[in-house]
Amino acid sequence: MINAYYNPEMIINSDTPEKNISFNINKASNYSYNISFIHFGNIKNYTTVEIYLNNHLIYVISKSNNNTGSGIYKKSISIDITDNLTNGMNILKIVGKNMDAINYTPYYKLENIYINEPIKTPIPIAGIIITIVMLCFFIIYRKDIKVR
């Protein structure tokens, strides 16, 4: 994987229920891009955490979805964001809904946020295989001519 963007963490809580980070990326048209991160926190049943990329909802975390991480039970996720990523400026946003509570300090954290792309060659794999096979035949043919 080629690292295209890295941010160590984003944290939201009842005092700061929304957090944005902006970043620039040179998006290639023939690549697939993924965002991966570790997430965990302390939220109640009625709280949801929504993750947006360029105002497109890409992931929802909630107890009802059974996908929350907490304490040592951190969850790791990878999401295809190719369609939502733009060439140039992008905004990643995390929003906590219903984060206010009495005698309770909710928080949620995204850690090790990577936006990466799989390594791809501009030549299709079939073309590479055909070229290698043809080179092998050419080398064998050339050796056969020198032996005679």
The CATH number of the domain holding residue 101 is 2.60.120.260
pLDDT at 4: 61
* Residue 143 covered by a domain: no
* Residue 6 covered by a domain: yes
* Residue 139 covered by a domain: no
The token pair that represents 101 in the structure block: 């509570």
> Residue 15: what are its φ and ψ, rounded to 5°?
-80, -35
Cβ pair 27, 33 in contact under 8 A = yes
Residue 146 neighbours by CB under 8 Å, 6+ apart: none
Q: What is the pLDDT of residues 17-74, one digit of tens each?
A: 999 999 888 888 778 899 999 999 888 888 899 999 999 999 999 887 777 777 667 8
Segments forming the whole domain that contains residue 24: 2-120
* Residue 148 covered by a domain: no
Which residues on adjacent β-strands are paired with residue 113? 7
Q: What percent of the chain has pLDDT over 90?
A: 41
Residue 136 neighbours by CB under 8 Å, 6+ apart: none
Q: What percent of the chain has pLDDT over 70?
A: 87
